[in-house]
């Protein structure tokens, strides 16, 4: 009887670790109510998060696999269990004049459908509260046009001696 109870308790513990961090994700990879992990409880890059590559963030699209996301923005900073259907990130952005030390911190959540393809993406400001996530980043400035310098070359006739 005691062995049976211990086995049931161990099974329940293992199964609870297989779930997500609290967000109930539908089969199509959406949710009506998001649960955000505490930003202080990051598992990777402890208490820091990462500064993502902005070009990589712009490439994220619905239908991407976990491997594609991992390649673009790395591993999630929060441990969420086994076979999860959500990934949570803690990202920092350089924002002069805004946030602590000119840095805005945001959480980013990716929800996956039953086939493990990314389907919905969500942002949440951490610091400063109410910030736009991701922040409006400077527009790409087109490279300056090269200056065309035209030189007029005047050829003088060459006299040939006879």
pLDDT, tens digit, for every residue of 9-32?
Answer: 333 333 333 344 568 888 888 888
Looking at residue 139, what is its pLDDT? 54
pLDDT, tens digit, for every residue of 32-90?
Answer: 899 998 888 776 655 578 899 999 999 999 999 999 999 999 988 887 666 789 999 99
pLDDT for 4 beyond 80 = no
Ordered DSSP codes for 79-145: ---SS-SEEEEEEEEE-TTSSBTTEEEEEEEEEE-TTSBEEEEEEEEEESTT--SSPPPPPPPPPPP
The residue with greater pLDDT, 66 or 157, is 66
């Amino acid at each position: 009887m005691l062995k049976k109870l211990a086995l049931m308790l161990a099974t329940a513990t293992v199964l609870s670790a297989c779930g997500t961090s609290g967000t109930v994700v539908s089969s199509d990879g959406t949710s009506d109510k998001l649960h955000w992990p505490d930003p202080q409880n990051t598992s990777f890059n402890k208490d820091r998060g990462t500064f993502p590559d902005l070009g990589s963030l712009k490439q994220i699209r619905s239908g991407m696999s976990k491997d594609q996301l991992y390649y673009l923005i790395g591993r999630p900073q929060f441990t969420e269990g086994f076979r999860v259907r959500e990934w949570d990130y803690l990202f920092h952005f350089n924002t002069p004049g805004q946030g602590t030390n000119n840095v805005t911190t945001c959480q980013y959540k990716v929800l996956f459908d039953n086939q493990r393809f990314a389907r919905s993406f969500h942002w949440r400001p951490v610091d400063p509260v109410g910030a736009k996530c991701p922040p409006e980043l400077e527009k790409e400035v087109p490279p300056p046009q090269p200056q065309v310098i035209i030189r007029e070359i005047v050829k003088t006739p060459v006299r040939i001696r006879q």
